[in-house]
Structures are given as structure tokens and as C-alpha cells.
């Protein structure tokens, strides 16, 4: 399954999309999904949540609440270690440059995750 975020998604057909924060991202994300795809949001749904539009387009839009779970984190780490789950890293910045890293993310032009390194 493709695991990508950011503005470069438009025109691509993904099975799932997990928007990061804003409610408006959820609505825009529907255009990135293929028929039968799923939009997963961690933002609590309100009247703007696109569940009805997703259903009408042959997709799903769901909300999930994530709580810390040591066993689940170990399972995820195992998936990463085995190569079955990959994270696309778009940039690495030293912790002292957190404001630059934040500006990169806000600019919407980074493909992949921005990682802050303590060293």
C-alpha cells in the first residue's frame, strides 16, 4: 500500500490516506483515493467530516482514536525492522533547527516525514 503524504498526492490513486492534522485535509484527501479506498482521520469528526461524500464515491472515511500501547508499538517496530512498513523521510534537521524544520512542514513542499535529530 502506498504510504505518502503531502501536496504531491493529487492525481495518484491510493488505497488509504492518513491526513496529519487539519479538517480541510480530510476533504481534499478524498481526491487522492482510488475507488474502495479509505480515509483515516485522527481529528475528531464534526459536520465537515467527509463520510457521506466518501460513501457516495465508493470509499470510506473513518475516525480512529489512538492510545499508547506498548505491545502495538513493539509490533510496529517489528514491521519496520522486517521492511514490511517503510517511512518516507523527506528531511532530517538537528533539534537546534526546529524552527526551520517547522517552516519546511508548514510550506507543504516536503515529501515524507521531517525528522528532528537530537545530535
Dump pLDDT digits (tens) for 64-119.
877 778 998 899 899 989 999 988 898 999 989 988 888 888 887 788 888 999 87
Among 40, 63, 86, the domain boundary falls at 63
Range of the domain at 23: 7-63
Dump pLDDT digits (tens) for 5-56.
444 444 445 555 555 544 555 667 777 778 888 888 877 778 878 888 889 9
Question: CA 44 to CA 41: how far, in whole Å?
Answer: 8
Q: What is the pLDDT of residue 25?
A: 58
Question: CA 70 to CA 80: how far, in whole Å?
Answer: 15
19 and 48 in a single domain? The answer is yes
- Residues pairing with 79 in the sheet: none
State the burial class of residue 32 (Cβ atoms within 10 Å of its Cβ: 0-12, 13-18, 19+).
buried
Say if 2 falls within a structural domain: no
Q: What is the pLDDT of residue 82?
A: 95
Amino acid at each position: 500500500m502506498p504510504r505518502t503524504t503531502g501536496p504531491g498526492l493529487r492525481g495518484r490513486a491510493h488505497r488509504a490516506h492518513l491526513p496529519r492534522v487539519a479538517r480541510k485535509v480530510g476533504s481534499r484527501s478524498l481526491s487522492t483515493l482510488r475507488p474502495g479506498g479509505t480515509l483515516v482521520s485522527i481529528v475528531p469528526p464534526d459536520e465537515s467530516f467527509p463520510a457521506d461524500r466518501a460513501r457516495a464515491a465508493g470509499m470510506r472515511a473513518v475516525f480512529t482514536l489512538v492510545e499508547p500501547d506498548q505491545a502495538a508499538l513493539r509490533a510496529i517496530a517489528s514491521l519496520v525492522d522486517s521492511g514490511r512498513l517503510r517511512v518516507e523521510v523527506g528531511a532530517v534537521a538537528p533539534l537546534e533547527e526546529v524552527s526551520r524544520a517547522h517552516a519546511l512542514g508548514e510550506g507543504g513542499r516536503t515529501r515524507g516525514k521531517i525528522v528532528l535529530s537530537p545530535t
